[in-house]
Structure 1
Amino acid sequence: MIELAVFDMAGTTVDEHGDVYTALESSVRETGVEVSPAHLQEWMGVDKTEAIAALIELGGGVATPELVAHTFDRFREILAAAYDANPPVALPGVEDALRELKSRGIKVALTTGFSADVAGPLLQGLGWGIGDDELLDAVVTSDQVAAGRPAPYLIHRAMERTGVHDVRRVLCAGDTAVDLLAGVNAGVVAVGVLTGKLGRDEMARNPHSYILDGVKDVPALAEMQSA
């Protein structure tokens, strides 16, 4: 039986209108390097400072600590402005799905490549709280673990915070390749959802347990897992 469902944020549970993608691209381009769509997609879902450093290097630049820190600050500024202009919203069916999971006694956690200072206001704007009577049981951000995806630590920290011990009783879902790789590395049920930029064929090229149209379909899968 699934005891914990762990979900990515942007593109998986939250429709932020592609602003993370745009903010990451714009901030890295400001350093004077080119950013290819393929490289940008490859580094989506990863800790944003790691992604920025990698994209600068892939574009032919030198990712000094000072440049990465400045670019990350610019990423946050661009993203905050975009969110102010066009606030993120829950993807269709997500809130109902999370409530359904919690009603069955399944813990619900979010993990993200955002730092806490980016994720906190986003969740506050959505009205998503943490606690027994709230939508979520835990949130883990990339600055709270030793390494972000595809390392398994975000998922394992979510297990720690929710008191779940058996990786076989954990499901994770995300819209990027690194979400799936993190799930595989964590030893959990790894689910790809098609609410991001990857189509079914692209998602299926990565190791996975299941591919679903969206988080709205996870309760049916959790029921199947419980049988």
Structure 2
Amino acid sequence: MKQIKCVIMDWAGTAVDYGCFAPLNAFLKVFSEEKGIEITLRQAREPMGMLKIDHIRAILSMPDVREKFTVRYGRDWNETDVEEMYRSFEKHLFASLTEFTEPIPGVVETLDSLRRQDIRIGSTTGYTAQMMEVVRPGAAEKGYVTDFLATPDGLPAGRPAPYMIFRNLTELAIPSVQEAVKVGDTLSDIREGINAGVWSVGVITGSNEMGITEAEYARIPDGELARMKEEVRRRMLGAGAHHVLDNITELPAYIETLNERLNK
């Protein structure tokens, strides 16, 4: 009998760092403060989930940002610019990363309940191994631990390529892509899951796509909150998500649905 044997979690914005603010703040400092190129919050967040140097390339490739760069510097951007900006991004990120390792509400309890059903917990990330050496122990001190972590280092590519998921399936000895669920808060996460052939699930609350703090979430009127969530849901479904959770606590019920589907 087939059943879900593995959940592969993203980290920032899905498991920890409500709203995915650690990388956002670093990107804004690099572009706006250091390079003098104003970018919107949406532009900074749109490629989130990718390997961070690829994220910088993605922002620079946006027509509006490319034009601003050309106007300011009299030329198009190049890889020397990317490498310089990435070094600066790392400096800003490492300066604050320890402050963004708090598990998102409901995550620890939900994954503990799945473990009691013998479901393994894997993980992928847009962070490098060096960055995860800060995030992983900080999250563990607060109760969040995974059975395996794959970073993009040493693989052919990061998201949306499927290689980190394949590493999880191998290391956790999952016999079929049909028996694994990828959970993430970005469009890159969802595309990673689709490219790997696993069930690809988005989560709205706490996500990069919502892009708000927990305190802001609590203050938003119900009607406005519902509208914002529906917009995020549409983007995630548009990226190919098989399903979108309002929050992580809905995951066990969805897995039950998948188990029934697998055995029809």
TM-score between both structures, scaled by the size of structure 1 = 0.88
Where in structure 1 do 4 or more consecutive aligned residues deviate above 4 Å? none
Q: How does 1:44-193 map to 2 (within 5 A)?
A: 44-58=48-62, 59-60=65-66, 61=69, 62-84=76-98, 86-127=99-140, 135-193=145-203
Question: Which structure: greater strand fraction?
Answer: 1
Say whether the 8 Å CA contact 2:11–2:124 is kept in structure 1.
yes
- Greater mean alpha carbon deviation, residues 204-213 or residues 61-70: 61-70
Q: Are residues 113 and 226 of structure 1, via their aligned partners in 2, closer, same or farther at CA, if it must alter by over 3 Å?
A: same
- Give the distance between the partners of 1:32 and 1:135, measured in 2 at CA: 39
Match for residue 258 of structure 2?
225
1:63, distance to aligned residue in structure 2 (A)? 4.4
- Give the distance between the partners of 1:215 and 1:145, measured in 2 at CA: 28
Q: Which runs of 5+ in 1 are unaligned?
A: none
1:28, distance to aligned residue in structure 2 (A)? 3.1
Q: Which of 175, 194, 210 matches 2:243?
A: 210
- Greater mean alpha carbon deviation, residues 38-47 or residues 54-63: 54-63
- Secondary structure at 1:89 match in 2: coil
- Secondary structure at 1:52 match in 2: helix
Say whether the 8 Å CA contact 2:97–2:134 is kept in structure 1.
no
- Give the distance between the partners of 1:34 and 1:156, measured in 2 at CA: 37
Question: Which structure: greater helix fraction?
Answer: 2
Q: Which runs of 5+ in 2 are unaligned?
A: 70-75, 211-231
1:95, distance to aligned residue in structure 2 (A)? 0.7
- Give the distance between the partners of 1:144 and 1:91, measured in 2 at CA: 29
Say whether the 8 Å CA contact 1:14–1:88 is kept in structure 2.
yes
- In the alignment, structure 1 residue 36 sits paired with structure 2 residue 49: no
TM-score between both structures, scaled by the size of structure 2 = 0.77
Say whether the 8 Å CA contact 1:28–1:56 is kept in structure 2.
no
Say whether the 8 Å CA contact 2:201–2:242 is kept in structure 1.
yes
Q: Deviations over 1:22-62 (max 9, x none)?
A: 21222233234332334323211111011112222432244
- Greater mean alpha carbon deviation, residues 28-37 or residues 204-213: 28-37
- Give the distance between the partners of 2:60 and 2:153, measured in 1 at CA: 20
User: What is the root-mean-square deviation of aligned Cα atoms in Å?
Assistant: 2.1
**Structure (1 or 2) with the larger CA radius of gyration:** 2
* Percent identical: 29
